[in-house]
Amino acid sequence: MIEQKSETGVFTCTATIDPAFVIAPVPHRLFGSFVEHMGRSVYGGIYEPGHPEADVNGLRLDVVKLTKELGVSAVRYPGGNFVSGYRWEDGVGPREQRPVALDLAWRSLEPNTFGLNEFMTWARQTEVEPIMAVNLGTRGVEDACNLLEYANFPGGTRYSDLRIAHGVREPHNIRTWCLGNEMDGPWQIGQKTATEYGRLAAETAKAMRRVDPDIELVACGSSNERMPTFGSWEATVLDEAYDVVDYISLHAYFEQHGDDRVGFLASADTMDRFIEGVIATCDHIGAKKRSRRRINLSFDEWNLWYESRFVGQDRLDWARAPRLIEDEYTVEDAVVLGNLLMSLLRHSDRVTIACLAQLVNVIAPIRTEPDTGAWRQTIFYPFALTARHARGEVLRVAVDSPTLYSRTLGDVSAVDLTATREPDSGDIAVFAVNRDEHQSARLRLRMGIDGAHEVVEHVVLGGDDLLATNSKETPGRVIPRSSTRHGIEDGFLDVELPPVSWSMIRTTPIR
């Protein structure tokens, strides 16, 4: 057992887990990411011919290595706002024949030297499942079907034979397709009303399923929950497309607003309510239609983003691969991101796809520079550890904790907790966050399991310099540290959680 402290700097909270109370299996694609033709995500990120780490295809192998270490299971491509003006044909075929185009989304010059086939080569090399988006901003049904035919049809048709002529004999067999991106956003090229988009999404979905009946389709939800269209948008779109799509998307970015640090630390509570609101809308439309189908959620853009620092799209100058929103993340940010992953896990019965936006350089866990190797940002670690160890089934957790006051959220729990269990091995992973800025938490966790367990790993991020970052000069300044502040006795796991910290504790049966 850990030594009990009597000083006022420690509070106690309790929780219970039981393998009989399962939310859902951990979805494989919950640990997805996102690569958009934006800033240095592609050019200078995953693709940089001539770099010492680049292979013969121009793919940066240091980024490939870190992507695998991060545990990314799926990647959404090529956008994002970019896709709403994208001509996919410009990015295939001989590179010397590809045009340089204006990217209206980010006021950038798009060289088109990296496109679908290069992305699929990268996806196979990194062992990630591709999720492809189609342009429903400036294009529509026909072009979406043409792209699908190019990507998935075996051969003997105009676009499948074009793929073969481009040196790709076997079809890519991309299974998951996003029907546009953030179509209610006034910043979006080809912005639409909910009825306009719902009709277009439904007709595109019907046609695409005739090309390939085995695909799954994601309809656009509202761009974020702060939009005036949020809620009514989802209801209208699903009223049109409920029977022909499989998912609706959610997008959310988090940052601290004003002096409400507690509210920022409790961003996972905001994510919880957002998810549950969209689930309620989906189920309302399903009930209205008397449908036996269930629409799941694709949270295919989420991360921390200091959006208040962004100059805005209209103030960008035309350039190739400009530096855009290359935020440097702190220890505190890593704690919040780990907590957001916990929210996704506890909604894994409905959120079965999620994509951290983005993967490289642009608000990303991985950073690169042309004159050095890639490095891990602070947010890399909670994602990688969760992706590696959240296995098997997500368990329902009951937590009894003191509360903290947030100016924007009201009372929030000081401690948040999620757990997973691998049924075959019996291994349990506990993910815990202490949001209190000043006090450590003593977590007393009742484990409703048969047989004794032992702790095999206990790592912590936070609890010291919350503003520390990793950088090109100090890439290893912040790493998870091992802790011995734990113990198991009589079916209870006792753990100390430092102030403002994210912790992972793994236990295994004693055999």
Tell which phi-psi region holds residue 400, choosing left (phi > 0), alpha (psi between -120 and 50) or beta.
beta
Furthest CA-CA distance within the chain: 76
Q: Which residue has the tokens 């029977």?
A: 243
To the query of whether residue 48 is one of the catalytic residues in this protein, the response is no
Closest to 119 measured CA to CA, from 99, 91, 149: 91
Given 48, 89, 110, 182, the catalytic residue = 182
Nearest Cα neighbor of 172 from 146, 151, 150 is 151
Task: Tell me if 413 sits within 8 A of 423, measured CB to CB.
Answer: no
Q: Give the E-state strand segments of 305-402 in sequence order.
A: 351-357, 366-369, 372-376, 393-395, 398-400
- Cβ count within 10 A of residue 437: 14
Active site residue 332: no
For residue 499, cis peptide bond before it (omega within 30 degrees of 0): no
Q: In angstroms, rounded to a whole number, what is the distance separating the alpha carbons of residues 100 and 67?
A: 28
Q: Give whole-number Cα distances, 139 to 108, 191, 384, in Å.
A: 20, 12, 37
Tell which residue, 337, 316, 328, 318, has the closest CA to residue 361: 328
Name, in order, each residue with C-beta under 8 angstroms of 1's C-beta and a sequence gap of 6 or more: 487, 489, 494
Rounded distance between C-alpha atoms, residue 252 and residue 354, angstroms: 11
Three-state DSSP class for residue 342: helix
Sorted by sequence, the CB contacts under 8 Å of residue 142 that are 6+ apart come out as: none
Given 118, 301, 332, 393, the catalytic residue: 301
Give kind and range of the element (H or E) at residue 61.
Answer: helix 61-70
Q: Which residues are catalytic?
A: 182, 301
